[in-house]
Amino acid sequence: MDEDRPRVTLDVGAEECPLNWVRVKLRLEAMADGEVLEAIVADGAPAMNVPRSAREEGHEVLRVSAPVHGRVRVLLRKREVSGGP
């Protein structure tokens, strides 16, 4: 699906928690509503915490891949903020 194709890939696999989420969050904030971000995170706690934090912020977690060489691919769709009153 093209709508799930990431516009940006951000590799934070070498970052420690919570800096990895901070970098992902800042990147999402710079993107347009509905755009998809591919975040590469370390396996383990980051692979659980980044998707959890994204959900808590209202973003959609499209996919969390199985680990490959200690890295996990997380696809996130930036939440859409309605412009209504």
30-43 exposure pattern, b = at least 16 Cβ within 10 A, e = fewer: eeeeeebbbbbbbe
* φ, ψ at 28 (rounded to 5°): -60, -40
Q: Is 17 a catalytic residue?
A: yes
Q: Which residue of the set 17, 31, 62, 64 is catalytic?
A: 17
Contact in structure between 77 and 59 (CB atoms under 8 Å) = yes
Distance between alpha carbon 28 and the CA centroid of its chain, in Å?
A: 8
Any idea which residues carry the catalytic annotation? 17
